[in-house]
Structure 1
């Protein structure tokens, strides 16, 4: 046990360096994560499936092989709407109890190919929707970890894994990351291939990662492409605080925390400004849930028509709400999104990133709700990269947070800005 003590607390970048320099072995890092899962998972319920024998066998093979893989030895967890050939994939639904895919999803294949070590599957909301999983917030077990990437956020926050695949169709990466006090990165649409992901709203579904630091999100995500990142920062980021009517739904403590963050960044030398969300983009916020409902009725047609009674009442109601939407409206909504791209480009003409709330406030007490996803909706709809991080503590001592949004395809710049910003503020520790 002494060889593995506290290795599970290493971040992705720290672990990669230690493995590359032969300071630690892949098998010891994997064992430390497995020990933590054994210790805490009965309380947190982040993992729904794991197998120590499989994980350690992969780690031992990597220890015996020549180095050179970018992600060599890095343990990772997989949200249970992403197919895995080594573990059941149940999509958070009783319909797929013990379902075993024949193949890994593309993102899992790429992670393995570059040397990462799968730890198992983590909990998801039902088909990555708002019906919560059984996972709990490790910062306070009586509170929600957020959703739908509940297990991903909880596993990383509780030091069971340094990284976890997560997905976002509205706000399912950025919000649970904030609730659990970690970092949630939703890349530009399509940056991580979605083959093998259970589709929900294909025009919006995005695979991303949850880690404990921005640099770890950058290293792991770009490592999937075989790229070894430099821990870069933007010296004097240009950031615009973006105001919109959605701010009416944020709690006062969140707004105060955002204003406090702006003040800190100004003192640290960032070029801060303010903007109102253009009306063309404001209108799209109302389109996003309707587009979701229309597409989800198609992608979940089998479940909706053949297994209706096995769906949660919440999901049944959402899918039934799509009855009112016709094909012509769907085409019109897609066209409106396309026409908005000009306004999006204007948004980033003079700034590196936009600052926006990531969640309404602290994680809510109870496990019946996964929280309000609205603050990720527009940016997911527009396919823009976003990254959330904790900035302060709320009245009950749980994290508050913000997100930075970048231009489409400008992921490396956004990550560099976020890396600079998080270095400028004090780390947030839940009370």
Structure 2
């Protein structure tokens, strides 16, 4: 994989120019893209800044995020010729840092569940996950050092796990969602994919203008709670094995590790995620549903059909349940003395076939809580497919989540 920090170190040392770094990315795209199919389009003549902390870094932009220099098609024929007039603020920030938004990456239509044709770089017969399929696959295939995705259920953490890369879903609204096609305004979160935890931390710190995010490594050994989310169906044995392996590695590195059973409040919150998401999707996609329903893919069309029956009192009750759980999560951390939680990133490795994007059941609660989550690749299963875990911290404690994820990552390598 291409490392953002490695590329920047070579540029700073004068061994590589920003133009040369973009050239390396183009070579990688030419080599891997025909097999993986992660990209919608590539800018043939981008502006390549000579200066800036991210100069020379090519970025993939999920194709529901507005770009002035490239189309934004939402994964749908409805927007086949759509060309925004302006960059989304998150894209404008990348440009201000010197980065090059070089390519749009594939997304499931409107970031829901109907799959893309993108293939898992580790085995083309398996899904890369969704909805940020192209961003995860492009980083995993070594085509891009950084890519943007979004998460409403599990669309950053799960594909990062399936593709064996680091993904971070930051705290809710840490990165702006203006200029991002909305599915659920209470849940949609912009996230990142990178080759390592340090790469992801560096990029997020710059994009959020919060340097401390990248400098939490000296915060001491974390106190880690192992959470198995008993309110969900059990994971595959390989996911349980990866969680146990990550916990042992963290313990060897000096972390305090012990099991934690979440109170019933969190099972209740998990159960209302769909009500909140689908009620808002019904409004966010009201124009597309009213004027282009037959052009919507089958899973999304069926979901929006069903969402028409969600009554406002049920939505309001779901909001109250979520709010109660968010307040309770603060107590889970403080009363148990935990810095972070460690849990499954996905039920197992990427499923076979391209007909679905996998199950987000181990991600949805944490998206609803608005807290930072980081995927850490752990190992490969017998078929050579990656399996990962996720590290979770308090709201606003993104640096601590990344620091603990970095500790796990280093311990696993050791």
TM > 0.5 fold call = yes
Q: Secondary structure at the match of 1:397?
A: coil
Match of 2:7 in 1: 15
Partner of 2:126: 143
CA-to-aligned-CA distance 1:281-333 (integer Å, 9 cap, x gap): 11111100111111100000011111000001111111111122111111121
Question: Unaligned 5+ residue runs, structure 1?
Answer: 1-8
1:165-314 matches, cutoff 5 A: 165-228=148-211, 229-230=214-215, 232-246=217-231, 248-314=233-299
Structure 1 residue 356, shift from structure 2 partner: 0.9
Among candidates 98, 104, 121, match of residue 115 of structure 1 = 98
Q: Which residue of 2 aligns with 1:43?
A: 35
- TM-score by length of structure 2 reads 0.96
* 1:230 Cα deviation after fit: 3.7
- TM-aligned CA deviation for residue 397 of structure 1: 1.9
1:230-255 deviation per Cα after TM superposition (whole angstroms, max 9, x unaligned): 47354311100013224533101211
Contact 1:235 1:420 in 2 (8 A): no
- 1:6 is aligned to none
Whole-angstrom CA distance in 1 between matches of 2:11 and 2:3: 12
- Give per-residue Cα distances to partners, 1:214-269, cap 9 Å, x unaligned: 11111111111345544735431110001322453310121122122222222222
TM-score by length of 1: 0.92
Kindly indicate whether the alpha-carbon contact (under 8 Å) linking 2:215 and 2:399 is maintained by their aligned counterparts in 1.
Answer: no
Matched, 1:394 2:386: no
- Answer whether contact 2:253 2:407 (CA < 8 A) is retained: no
Q: Deviations over 1:345-370 (max 9, x none)?
A: 01211111101101011111111000
| CA–CA separation in structure 2 for the residues paired with 1:263 and 1:417 | 14
- CA RMSD of the aligned region, Å? 1.4
Partner of 1:356: 343
Distance 1:234 1:362 in 2: 32
Alignment pair present for 1:156 and 2:139: yes
Structure 1 pair 119/322, CA: closer, same or farther in 2 (3 Å)? same
Give the count of matched residue pairs: 410
Residue 372 in 1 paired to residue 359 in 2? yes
CA contact (8 A) 2:2 2:144 kept: no
Q: Structure 1 pair 234/425, CA: closer, same or farther in 2 (3 Å)?
A: farther
Residue 54 of structure 2 is aligned with which of 71, 76, 79? Answer: 71
Distance verdict in 2 for CA 1:417–1:233, change over 3 Å:
farther
From the superposition, tell whether residues 395 and 247 of structure 1 become closer, same or farther in structure 2 (CA, over 3 Å).
farther
Separation (CA, whole Å) in 2 of partners of 1:360 and 1:71: 35
Q: For residues 283 and 190 of structure 2, what CA distance do their matches in structure 1 show?
A: 20
Cα distance change, pair 231–338 in 1 and its aligned pair in 2 (3 A) = closer
